[in-house]
């Protein structure tokens, strides 16, 4: 049976032709009868075929492009897309057994996320279309990768916009509560059912490795989660201190230090805003500070408050850094582009009377590939700044 058709407005068609992968509901001119999650044929107002897409009956993003060619979206297509995603990771993932295997749109599988933690896979199906095909994805992942277990972390809020419930659990195989995997030559434990995101912030892996190359002396790792930046740098540093608001994260960081026989690391549960202020006022100084906060700007409306938050932590961090020190400052808010983060840190540097040089302007690890024509796939910014004086 031929797939149902969706006709775009001229504006919707233009957007797609300019390289974007999403079409908003307001850019749809007409549709056949559609079910949630249907695969549809996209056409311009003149009837010209534009590609195959997945339809959502609820999200403002009404269709998400799968492919621009007129090919069937069947098991064979999905299998080939998963294989291509895996081949790409073989090229770009170095020295790690935990990484993102599938990153949605960037892998031609919109809203499908698959993270690999050693032999266990964690799945997110974030739209009606991938939800509807979840059993197929589980079957194909088993066939291609023979994982010990497949879990689902379908608890991100975006699922609510699709009218989908929040769900976490084991979909296949057996999982006993913790996985050990490695990155940058260190071993880490991962709690895949209860940890943040799918268990870890895999997107910072390359930045953790690169930062370690610069870090010497005393490091303060604010928003440390399970200790990634601190423990990766611990061998080069004289001491590392990690701060996180989450007791579970701090306990995991301590276990990760033991796992790697690291003895110069301390982790504690505290609010990074308070700690930075206390250290500043007490005259405590560090040679390196890492700021990797959660997204302060979840939407445009929260941008002014987010700006103040980023300014505050960057200002404090600069005040407690010794000359010759390193600031690693990050933002994972899509609404804070790199130019804005640079502007905020520049303001903080002027206020703190510090002279900085930009050593590196980095982004998410390459297993979270950024689509050139789709800015939404780029969300992580990580600036490495040297303190001259
Ligand atoms: N750097 C980490 C990831 C950090 S994610 C890594 O490489 O793995 C952001 C972390 O900030 C989360 O662990 C969250 O628990 C923590 N957090 C959120 N608000 C905080 C606050 N005010 N003070 C300290 N930690 C906070």
Ligand 1, atom 5, lies closest to the CA of: 294
pTM of this prediction? 0.97
Atom number, ligand 1, closest to the C-alpha of residue 272: 23
Would you say 45 and 12 are in contact if contact means Cβ atoms under 8 Å apart? no
Q: What is the CATH code of the structural domain delimited by 75-179?
A: 3.30.750.80
- CA 42, CA 5: separation in Å to the nearest integer? 6
pLDDT tens, residue by residue, 257-313: 999 999 999 999 999 999 999 999 999 999 999 999 999 988 889 999 999 999 999
Ligand 1, atom 20, lies closest to the CA of: 245
With tokens 């960081």, the residue in question is 253
For ligand 1, the distance from its centroid to the CA atom of residue 245, given in whole angstroms, is 7
The response to whether residue 214 sits with its C-beta less than 6 Å from ligand 1 reads no
The response to whether residue 202 sits with its C-beta less than 6 Å from ligand 1 reads no
For ligand 1, the distance from its centroid to the CA atom of residue 67, given in whole angstroms, is 36
For residue 338, the model assigns a pLDDT of: 97
In the chain, which residues fall in CATH 3.40.50.150?
Answer: 201-387
pLDDT tens, residue by residue, 100-120: 999 999 999 999 999 999 999
Ligand 1, atom 22, lies closest to the CA of: 271
Q: Is the pLDDT of residue 79 over 80?
A: yes
What pLDDT band is residue 134 in, cutting at 50, 70 and 90?
very high
Using a 10 angstrom Cβ sphere, with 0-12 exposed, 13-18 middle and 19 or more buried, the burial of residue 242 is buried
Pairing of strands 321-331, 286-291: parallel
Question: Average pLDDT, stretch 77-92?
Answer: 98
Annotation: CATH topology of 201-387: Rossmann fold (3.40.50)
Question: Average pLDDT, stretch 127-132?
Answer: 98
In the chain, which residues fall in CATH 3.30.750.80?
Answer: 75-179
Query: H/E/C letters for each residue in 206-243?
Result: HHHHHHHCCCCEEEEEECCCCCHHHHHHCCCEEEEEEE
For ligand 1, the distance from its centroid to the CA atom of residue 295, given in whole angstroms, is 10
In the chain, which residues fall in CATH 2.30.130.10?
Answer: 5-67
For ligand 1, the distance from its centroid to the CA atom of residue 227, given in whole angstroms, is 10
- pLDDT averaged over every residue in the chain: 97
For residue 11, the model assigns a pLDDT of: 98
Q: Is the pLDDT of residue 2 over 90?
A: no
- For 26, half-sphere exposure in the C-beta direction (CA atoms, 13 angstrom radius) is 1
Query: H/E/C letters for each residue in 143-184?
Result: HHHCCCEEEEEECCCHHHHCCCCCEEEEEEECCCCCEEEEEC
Distance of CA 364 to the CA centre of its chain: 7
pLDDT tens, residue by residue, 317-348: 999 999 999 999 999 999 999 999 999 999 99
Question: Average pLDDT, stretch 125-152?
Answer: 98
224 classed as catalytic: no
Report DSSP state, residue 105: G
Q: What is the CATH code of the structural domain delimited by 5-67?
A: 2.30.130.10
pLDDT tens, residue by residue, 356-366: 999 999 999 99
The response to whether residue 55 sits with its C-beta less than 6 Å from ligand 1 reads no
For residue 350, the model assigns a pLDDT of: 98
Q: Is the pLDDT of residue 214 over 90?
A: yes
For residue 370, the model assigns a pLDDT of: 98
Q: CB under 8 Å to 347, separation ≥6 — which residues?
A: 311
Q: Is the pLDDT of residue 92 over 90?
A: yes
The response to whether residue 188 sits with its C-beta less than 6 Å from ligand 1 reads no
């Amino acid at each position: 049976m031929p797939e149902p058709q969706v006709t775009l407005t001229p504006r919707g068609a233009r957007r797609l032709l300019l390289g974007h992968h999403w079409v908003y509901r307001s850019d749809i001119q007409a549709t056949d009868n559609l079910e949630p999650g249907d695969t549809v044929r996209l056409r311009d107002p003149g009837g010209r075929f534009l590609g195959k897409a997945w339809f959502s009956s609820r999200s403002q993003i009404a269709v998400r492009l799968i492919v621009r060619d007129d090919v069937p979206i069947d098991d064979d297509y999905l299998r080939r897309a998963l294989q291509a995603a895996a081949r790409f990771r073989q090229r770009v993932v170095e020295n790690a057994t935990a990484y993102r295997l599938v990153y949605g749109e960037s892998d031609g599988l919109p809203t499908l996320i698959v993270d690999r933690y050693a032999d266990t896979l964690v799945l997110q199906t974030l739209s009606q279309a991938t939800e509807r095909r979840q059993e197929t994805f589980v079957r194909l992942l088993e066939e291609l990768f023979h994982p010990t277990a497949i879990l689902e972390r379908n608890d991100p809020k975006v699922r609510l916009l699709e009218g989908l419930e929040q769900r976490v659990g084991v979909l296949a195989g057996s999982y006993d509560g913790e996985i050990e995997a490695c990155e940058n030559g260190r071993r880490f434990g991962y709690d895949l059912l209860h940890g943040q995101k799918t268990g870890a912030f895999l997107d910072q892996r390359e930045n953790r490795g690169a930062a370690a190359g610069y870090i010497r002396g005393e490091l303060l790792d604010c928003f440390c989660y399970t200790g990634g930046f601190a423990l990766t740098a611990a061998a080069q540093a004289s001491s590392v201190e990690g701060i996180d608001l989450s007791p579970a994260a701090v306990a995991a960081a301590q276990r990760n230090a033991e796992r790697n026989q690291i003895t110069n690391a301390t982790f504690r549960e505290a609010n990074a805003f308070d700690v930075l202020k206390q250290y500043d006022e007490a005259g405590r100084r560090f040679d390196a500070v890492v700021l990797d906060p959660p997204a302060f700007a979840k939407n445009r409306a929260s941008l002014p408050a987010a700006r103040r938050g980023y300014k505050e932590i960057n200002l404090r961090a600069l005040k407690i850094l010794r000359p010759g020190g390193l600031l690693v400052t990050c933002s994972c808010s899509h609404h804070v582009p790199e130019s804005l983060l640079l502007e905020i840190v520049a303001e903080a540097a002027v206020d703190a009377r510090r002279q900085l040089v930009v050593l590196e302007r980095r982004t998410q690890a390459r297993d979270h590939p950024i689509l050139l024509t789709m800015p939404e796939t780029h969300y992580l910014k990580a600036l490495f700044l040297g303190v001259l004086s």
